[in-house]
Amino acid sequence: MRPLEDAVTAWASSRASLLPQVGRRLFAMVLLMLASASIAQAAIDAYTFKDEAERARYTELTRELRCPKCQNQDIADSNAPIAADLRKEIYRMLGEGQSNQQIIDFMVDRYGEFVRYKPELNAHTWLLWFGPAGLLLGGVLLIGVIVVRRRGQRSEDADVLSDEERQRLAHLLDKNHE
């Protein structure tokens, strides 16, 4: 096995002068590929707006609505075809002069409350809004009950010895000191 190691070491040392050049080129190539991959994934919509207020409304709406396919992305960042359709629909509805609430209501009617990142508080979503606080409060109460019970057990355990046992214990302790 030693001749093989020697051959590998010799080959590596003969190539040592080429290694920095190849390493730099490889690093530059990997960096370029990573940069171009992130650019290629960006969602690009070329919409023209009549003013900046309408552009701001469009941006706000596309950030507020969730992509039905991606689920953890807003439709502004998603590359899914359905997200592109939703962006196009929002642009169309803005052009028709509909309000933000009308557009959101349309999307909720079509895709359900799930399409909103911040669902309204109603009978269907109260658990979503108050469930985490309820679980936290329940956990704190449970820990409190456990602590109180354990403290109560300790005080009860301190008076467990009878008079006879105390006398015997005192006798044993006195015996050990002698």
Distance, CA of 75 to CA of 62 (rounded, Å): 5
For the question of whether the overall pTM of this predicted structure is more than 0.85, the answer is: no
Contacts of 47 (CB under 8 A, 6+ apart): 58, 91
Distance, CA of 49 to CA of 16 (rounded, Å): 58
Residue 27 has pLDDT above 90, yes or no: no
- Angle of helix 100-111 relative to helix 81-95, nearest 10 degrees? 140
- Please write the tens of the pLDDT for every residue from 61-75: 888 888 888 878 888
